[in-house]
Amino acid sequence: MAGKLFGTDGIRGVAGEFPLDARTVFAFGEALGEDIAAHGRGSEALIGADTRESGAWIAATVAGGLRRRGVRARYAGVITTPGVAWLTRTGPFAAGVTISASHNPYQDNGIKVFTHSGFKLPDEEERAIEEALLRLRDEEPEPHPAPLAVDEDLNRQYLEYLRATVLVRFDGVRLGLDCGHGAASRLAPELFRSLGADVTTVGAAPDGRNINLHCGALHPENLSRAVVEHGVDFGVAFDGDADRAIFVARSGRVVNGDGVLLAAARAWKAAGRLAGGTVVSTVMANLGLERALEREGIRMIRTPVGDKYVLEEMVRLDAVLGGEQSGHVIFREYATTGDGILTALKVFEIARLAGAGLDELTAGLEVYPQKLVNIRVRRREGLLRHPAVEREIRRAEEALAGSGRVLVRFSGTEPLARVMVEAADAGQVEAFSESIAGAIREAQGA
């Protein structure tokens, strides 16, 4: 059994099918247990899950593999991915595991791993665990899940920490929360109500199969309508595991991670908190954000897509603020990963202290037309080096030199080639994105 199992955000697939069949999941638990022992990190690991119906059996199967290698698992039940990261970093855990496929539909699931530092596994450690997993999968044909009882105190600890990160209360503030029927469904409303906010929720009734279904961070248009209709001050939509947040201004305008980075960078620079005058984002950040930050005297550094790469660069530069357009925002003073609920707390705190709304906080952000085309692929080898594909990419780059960007890459979590074109001229964006996508489809057919 060959092939890279870890993508940019852990292992992901259809629950019950390779690599998320019971035998492989059990072998993963064993491989992680071996890795924990090899690094001398202790003998206890944390497991949490989002609301998918497959989460419980995957968690129990991982725990069984860990137990086979002498590692005890504590189970937080339904909790956010950043909640697992924080608890792993601050608790007695050698590693933390989240069972989640983030923004994907309920049929999918995934396994994300954090070291005791709260960081996602470095690439070389992922490769070592993957090699061990494939070996152990062949050696151990029968998985043996471990019974798990939910430790409710873990969620309480995480909420207490989040509450302690804010300097203000939100009395009198009307908030709309779309929890995507995911991991934030209980935690986020409870937290914001405890801070005095008047909270209206949508997407907060998970049934195991409705996670991300026409709601949450991938569908902020629903929350946008609700914010305008009900006169809500702020809206925020989370994805399934709540590591990302997309906002809605009182006007109904959607504010993504680019807008959050601009608002936070301005506020933190003014307060003398923006170390090095630098913000870290990815190759997907809109050119408009980069230019808006330049006007503020703030430098933006780009990394490959994936919040683990953003965090690595933040550590290297000692930067305190970074994130992705998709809504993963890292406030490094408080967290080692994107945390949607924490991001909402900090954005609302900034707005409260400034006496302003999201429209005012993101003023001056000119969003350049940007189109992303996804092409399902059967293979990756040589596809982007095909002469016709290279020719179309080169033609677009030459035409947009200085006034736009072209980015062509493979998804780290799905069998997709992604074509992104961004420019001031919407016509050029449309034409070049389709011509490059067409070349990839033809090359794949050939």
Pairing of strands 174-178, 198-202: parallel
DSSP-based three-state secondary structure for 388: helix
Q: Domain 6-155 class?
A: alpha beta
**Average pLDDT of span 166-191:** 97
Q: Which two tokens stand for residue 14?
A: 């259809």
In sequence order, which residues have a C-beta less than 8 Å from that of residue 128 and are 6 or more positions away?
A: 35
Domain extents in the chain? 6-155, 165-361, 370-445
Asked whether the CA dihedral 216, 191, 49, 377 is positive or negative, the reply is positive
Reported as a single tens digit per residue, the pLDDT across 228-261 is 999 999 999 999 999 999 999 999 999 999 999 9
Q: Is the pLDDT of residue 446 over 70?
A: no
Kindly give the interhelix angle for 152-164 and 340-354, rounded to the nearest 10 degrees. 30
Q: Which helix (H) or strand (E) holds 238?
A: strand 234-238
DSSP conformation letters of 163-202: HHT-SS--TT-EEEEE-TTSTHHHHHHHHHHHTT-EEEEE
The confidence score (pLDDT) of residue 289 equals 97
**Are the beta carbons of 226 and 202 closer than 8 angstroms?**
yes
Q: How far apart are CA 284 and CA 371, in angstroms?
A: 11
Q: Tell me which of 43, 54, 100, 102 is the catalytic residue.
A: 102
CB count in 10 Å sphere of residue 157: 16
Q: 6-155 and 165-361 share one CATH topology?
A: yes
**Are the beta carbons of 81 and 100 closer than 8 angstroms?**
yes
Q: How far apart are CA 224 and CA 214, in angstroms?
A: 13
**Are the beta carbons of 103 and 212 closer than 8 angstroms?**
yes
Q: How far apart are CA 279 and CA 293, in angstroms?
A: 9
The confidence score (pLDDT) of residue 314 equals 97
**Are the beta carbons of 197 and 173 closer than 8 angstroms?**
yes
The confidence score (pLDDT) of residue 189 equals 98
Q: Is the pLDDT of residue 153 over 90?
A: yes
**Are the beta carbons of 288 and 367 closer than 8 angstroms?**
yes
Q: Nearest 5°: phi and psi at 365?
A: -90, 105
Which of these, 364, 362, 368, 361, lies nearest to 287 by C-alpha position?
A: 368
The confidence score (pLDDT) of residue 286 equals 94
The confidence score (pLDDT) of residue 275 equals 92
Q: Is the pLDDT of residue 225 over 50?
A: yes
| Out of 45-59, 79-93, 134-148, 357-371, least confident range | 134-148
**Are the beta carbons of 131 and 348 closer than 8 angstroms?**
no
Instruction: Let me know if domain 370-445 sits in CATH 3.40.50.360.
Output: no
Q: Which two tokens stand for residue 160?
A: 């207490």
Reported as a single tens digit per residue, the pLDDT across 13-50 is 999 999 999 999 999 999 999 999 998 888 999 999 99
The confidence score (pLDDT) of residue 139 equals 86
Q: Is 411 among the residues known to form the active site? A: no
Q: Which amino acid is at 5?
A: L
Place of tokens 């490959």: 304
Reported as a single tens digit per residue, the pLDDT across 403-418 is 899 999 988 777 899 9
**Are the beta carbons of 195 and 170 closer than 8 angstroms?**
yes
In this structure, which topology does domain 165-361 adopt according to CATH? Alpha-D-Glucose-1,6-Bisphosphate; Chain A, domain 3 (3.40.120)
DSSP-based three-state secondary structure for 142: coil
The confidence score (pLDDT) of residue 1 equals 37
Q: For residue 445, what pLDDT band results from cuts at 50, 70 and 90?
A: confident
Which of these, 102, 82, 155, 46, lies nearest to 330 by C-alpha position?
A: 82
Instruction: Please tell me whether the peptide bond between 147 and the residue prior to it is cis, using omega within 30 degrees of 0.
Output: no
In sequence order, which residues have a C-beta less than 8 Å from that of residue 40 and are 6 or more positions away?
A: none
Q: For residue 2, what pLDDT band results from cuts at 50, 70 and 90?
A: very low
Q: Which two tokens stand for residue 153?
A: 């105190």
In sequence order, which residues have a C-beta less than 8 Å from that of residue 349 and are 6 or more positions away?
A: 166, 167, 168
Q: How far apart are CA 426 and CA 31, in angstroms?
A: 49
**Are the beta carbons of 409 and 424 closer than 8 angstroms?**
no
Name the pTM for this structure. 0.91
